[in-house]
Amino acid sequence: MKRNFVYVLAALLISVASCSFTNTNKTFDNPDKDKLLIQLISYVLEKGHYDPKDMDDTFSGKVFDQYISMLDPSKRYFLKSDIEEFEVYRDQIDDQIRDSEITFFDLVQQRLVKRMGEGQEIYKEILEKPFDFSEDEDINMDYENLPFASSKEELRDRWKKYLKFSTLSGYVTRLEDEENKKEEDAGYNMKSETELEKEARESTKKMQDEFYDLIDDLERKDWFVMYLNAIVTEFDPHTYYFGPEEKDRFDTSMSGKFEGIGARLQRKNDRIKIVEVISGGPAWRGNKIEVGDEIVRVAQGDEEPVDVIGMRLDDAVKLIKGPKGSEVRLTLKKVDGTTEVISIIRDVVELEESYAKSSTVEKDGKTFGIINLPKFYIDFDNYDDRNAASDVEKEIERLKEQGMEGLILDLRGNGGGSLKTVVDMAGFFIEKGPIVQVKSSGKRKEVLSDTDERVQWDGPLVILVNELSASASEILAAAMQDYKRAVIIGSKQTYGKGTVQNVVDLNQFLGQKNDFGDVGALKITTQKFYRINGGSTQLEGVKSDITVPDRYSYIDIGEKDQENPLPWDKIDPADYKTWDGYVNYEYALKQSKERMSKNEQLALIDDNARWVKKKQDENRYPLNYEAYRKAINKDEEVAKRFDVLSDYKTDLTFRSLPYEESLIAKDTVLRDKRERWHENLAKDVYVEEALHVLEDLQAGQVKKRVANIRD
């Protein structure tokens, strides 16, 4: 990030905040605060973004289309006349941004609220009457190319088809259940078609009611955040504005921990319910809260309790969360109907599923290790606290104590995280040298290197990736590939995110006298990173050494399929030498390709991926019962061919490490999670192939060692 703009911006905005605005309203429902945010964010984007865009009429048009699409993606609210009215602003949004004006936002937001209210009346009216599933009609779900309705009658028809499709799906499912019950018990009295249609229609109404409950929770500030993100995502798909609550959630996701009671909550029908008690947290340790309990009131220590029935979920969470060591008292309506007041001392809660975990597996008398890393997590406030690199280091040492002879690092689905943790982690596998090159706009490149000559693991290494392995995952995979230190097994290419984001706390620019409360943060793209061979992973990702098909093979989910991605380019390579360990790459790759060409499971996975892509591309569905049932039966016949994919099993047995076994003995939740993980690993054809490759690498290692001894 350009450092000099921070000081200019600070001076400018402190002046703006102190001189221009005196309203002390602490919410986003404040036009002055909205205008300040636009001014603040647009300046940060202009001065801090890696590739700042010209805010001109073309930019304005793109923001216009993006914002309307975000608000009404299925085109069931706005009318064509609304869009025509909005069109006057199509080429004026850039001017409004410069002038800190929000008339476009106000117009669209107010109209949306009105149209959504009308939509609520429409669905309630339509769902009062039974549907006729004998009519020959269909529904077009190609919303991107669907025009906005030209009249309220056309809009109502669109709603009717949508609700009918949802009800038909539920009706067919219920009818199949009744038929199965009749088949199992000839004496069973099946429900009538009229009863089943009514049940399905009521289920559709319940789903719509719950959706509108969520909509009712939204305030003007929530819609304004959407508008801001329609603006900032035009710079690139990873630049994003966080409102205050979203920033807290982002920090939690990156660190894997928060301070609170350790429970996941959900708002349903005006009630705040416990949907999960997090293993190891205060609520779990107290053993007095269970899934299904409703939180009725919340009190801070000895203070008066606050009624949370009907409260927004975010507001209820604010009351329940709090600093470590503080007391919160919850009035609960228990699952059995009783009411109880529970006192909980808040503590640091760690989200175990966010952290690295490891297992051993025996194969042909040899012990191998696997480490699963969901993300490159970090506590931004304290790097010395728990982070991905330090955790992986510990797991490697624990696996070595168990006699590990080869290591699988599973980065499938790992969307990235901290750049520092990936540089530190890469150093575990090489003596020293560059890991990644980073370039800021208009500046010379910076080479981030491992300077510690210690090698944590010098044995055979395989890294598993897929299309969802992104950012930091790609840095690690690319570095190990360039050094020829590891064999990369996975999809044709990884996600293709070759950019670096910094999170800028916008409050730092407002000074101590801030009358607007928390203004949130901006995650902004400030750099691009490059492989040590000079190539960018942007758009192209990392191409696997050994390519295997998976369910994402033909689905558009990579960076290249996003809106406004930055382009691919390359720079000069860094100075590095490939790994001189005892690893025979060519032998391992040759053996793997031969095995995969004969693997029926992988061939079937590829066929399934093609079929999934075909189904995804369909956008017209029948609303006639006979036609719908015929299509469903045809799909089920095809799907039966792929049922055997979940039946695949290996003869491998995965085990937790000794330190974790002692934890599992006291924690049934952790035990269940690990058992499920181990069961899935034993069915995982990719892990099975990775173990074969480790054996081949080890064989090559032995052969080369023997040759060196003879020399």
Active site residues: 471, 482, 497
8 Å CB contact between 378 and 388: yes
- Residue 405 CA to residue 236 CA, distance in Å, equals 43
8 Å CB contact between 332 and 289: yes
Query: Would the CA dihedral through 213, 214, 215, 219 be positive or negative?
Result: positive
What Å distances lie between residue 226 and 69, 72, 136, 572, CA to CA? Answer: 11, 12, 39, 39
* Alpha carbon of residue 46 to chain centroid: 28
- E runs forming strands in 238-282: 240-242, 257-260, 263-268, 271-277
- Residue 48 CA to residue 527 CA, distance in Å, equals 10
Start-to-end CA distance of the chain, whole Å, equals: 52
**Is residue 348 classed as helix, strand or coil in its secondary structure?**
strand
% helix, strand, coil for the chain, step of 5 = 45, 15, 35
647 is written with which tokens? 């039946």
**Is residue 575 classed as helix, strand or coil in its secondary structure?**
coil
| Residue corresponding to tokens 């001065």 | 47
8 Å CB contact between 108 and 77: no
- E runs forming strands in 431-574: 433-440, 446-450, 461-465, 487-490, 499-505, 521-530, 546-547
Count Cβ atoms below 10 Å from residue 57 Cβ, excluding itself: 14
Count Cβ atoms below 10 Å from residue 525 Cβ, excluding itself: 24
| Residue corresponding to tokens 């669905």 | 123
Q: Counting Cβ atoms within 10 Å, is residue 83 exposed (0-12), middle (13-18) or buried (19+)? A: middle
Pairing of strands 366-372, 407-410: parallel
Element (H or E) spanning 407, and its range?
A: strand 407-410
- Residue 288 CA to residue 272 CA, distance in Å, equals 17
- Residue 164 CA to residue 159 CA, distance in Å, equals 8
Count Cβ atoms below 10 Å from residue 228 Cβ, excluding itself: 23
Exposed e or buried b per residue across 405-425, where buried means at least 16 C-beta atoms within 10 angstroms of its C-beta: bbbbbbbbbbbbbbbbbbbbb
Element (H or E) spanning 658, and its range?
A: helix 658-664
- Residue 103 CA to residue 110 CA, distance in Å, equals 11
Q: Counting Cβ atoms within 10 Å, is residue 123 exposed (0-12), middle (13-18) or buried (19+)? A: buried
